[in-house]
Amino acid sequence: MFQDSQDMRTNLSELGEFGLIDHLTKGFEPKLSSTVKAIGDDAAVLNFENKYTVVTTDLLVEGVHFDLAYMPLKHLGYKAVMVNASDVYAMNAKATQITVSIAASNRFPVEALEELYSGIELAAKLYNIDVVGGDTTSSTSGLLISITALGIADKEDIVYRSGAKPNDLLVVTGDLGAAYMGLQILEREKEVFKANPNAQPDLDPYTYLIERQLKPEARKDIAPLLKELGVKPTSMIDISDGLSSEIIHLCKNSQVGANLYEEKIPLDPAVISVCEEFDIDSTTIALSGGEDYELLFTISQEDYDKIKANPNLTVIGHMAEEKEGMHLITRANQKLPLIARGWNSMEDKNEKSDKKE
């Protein structure tokens, strides 16, 4: 993960709004041919020729969506870009431009915003996205970041949440639950640190989990992969809230039911072992822990042979008639109704018994 930097403190007022904007955005040179005019005028000018454009926006609020006690600002900047790019990729589109708006209280020196922007800059560079504008203002309490992302796709390539058909296969990328368990580790360490600021935690066994929480990667690779395999998903969504609530979104939007097989859910070994350590059920975590930023999609059964050998893709179930409802088939072959317990409700659940049975 990223290194922390210096302890310098330059007050925001020393630069003023325009000085600050110039300072933060000086490294943002547009690279894409679709960016005609980026930062520096009243609006950016883009040219997508005959492509369809997708637009999405997200607002991140300190204390609600992130906690700076364990979220370094550079990671926050990186993650804020990923959250938005992931929504673009979930349309089977390519992310091209973002605008970044921030509101910061005077608790944040210029150097803190530089850190935030270094994460934004790195993400933009790695994902081939131009930063083409934004807005900068002060806040009376805390930090807010709003990013708007644009992307393009050929008209026939766009995939909605609404196209799944009964018997389509349900497919997920990567593995699930790691970001949520990474957060549990970070919260536990925060409490340990509060009690004893000299404690040196050994976080090595949790590297993958913490990285999935602090530095998630959006699935830029999936749209081109599916194109190469000759597969167009019938519906798609990104996993920001947890598998069960995303399956429910696909089902509701497509007016179908679904059967999800517990034994098929892809889990990293680190998730399994840390769930044992915390005495929580790993299936519950995969179903309800959020922020994995993987993609969930459906394909026609005929396309199964094209995807079956790919290690990035796991078939976890299939769609059904709407009247059959939405179910989890457990390892013990029990059929349980799938319920949406987004990540907001996770806190209460952890305090109670956390077994799904």
Among 21, 68, 71, 158, binds ligand ADP (CB under 6 A): 21
Q: Which range of residues in 17-25, 180-188, 276-284, 314-322 is near ligand ADP by CB under 6 A?
A: 17-25
Q: Quick check: 222 and 89 in contact, CB under 8 A?
A: yes
- 146 vs 213, beta carbon nearer ligand ADP: 146
User: How many residues sit in the footprint of ligand ADP (CB under 6 A)?
Assistant: 15
Residue 151-170 contact track with ligand ADP, rule CB under 6 A, x = bound: --------------------
In one-letter notation, the amino acid at residue 240 is: S
Nearest-angstrom CA–CA distance, 120 and 113: 10
39 scored as a contact of ligand ADP (CB under 6 A): yes
Q: Measuring CA to CA, which residue among 322, 312, 330 is closest to residue 261?
A: 330
Does residue number 40 form part of the binding site for ligand ADP (CB under 6 A)?
yes
Which residue bears the tokens 């005959």? 50
Q: Got the DSSP string for 300-316?
A: -GGGHHHHTT-TTEEEE
Report how far apart the first and last C-alpha atoms of the chain are (Å, whole number): 37
Tell the smallest beta-carbon distance from residue 243 to ligand ADP (Å). 34
Nearest CB to ligand ADP, comparing residues 25 and 235: 25
- Of residues 91-120, those binding ligand ADP (CB under 6 A): 100-102
The DSSP secondary structure of 46-113, one letter per residue, reads E--TTSEEEEEEEEEEBTTTB-TTTS-HHHHHHHHHHHHHHHHHTTT-EEEEEEEEEEE-TTS-HHHH
Q: Scanning the structure block, which residue is given the tokens 């609600």?
A: 64
Q: Scan residues 192-231 and list those touching ligand ADP (CB under 6 A).
A: none
CB of 109 to ligand ADP, least distance (A): 16
Q: Which does 25 bind (CB under 5 to 8 A by kind): ligand ADP, Mg ion, none?
A: ligand ADP
Residue selected from 7, 42, 202, 228 as contacting ligand ADP according to rule CB under 6 A: 42
Q: Which is nearer to ligand ADP, 23 or 356 (CB)?
A: 23
Binding-residue pattern over the window 129 to 148 for Mg ion, x denoting contact by CB under 5 A: ------x-------------
Per DSSP, the three-state class of 295 is strand
User: Under a CB-based contact definition with an 8 Å cutoff, are residues 171 and 264 in contact?
Assistant: no
Q: How far is the CB of 70 from ligand ADP (least distance, A)?
A: 24
Q: Is 319 in the site for ligand ADP (CB under 6 A)?
A: no
The C-alpha angle 92, 310, 286, rounded to 5 degrees, equals 75
Q: What does the binding site for ligand ADP look like in residue numbers (CB under 6 A)? A: 21, 24-25, 39-42, 100-102, 131, 133-136
Residues of this chain that bind Mg ion (CB under 5 A):
135
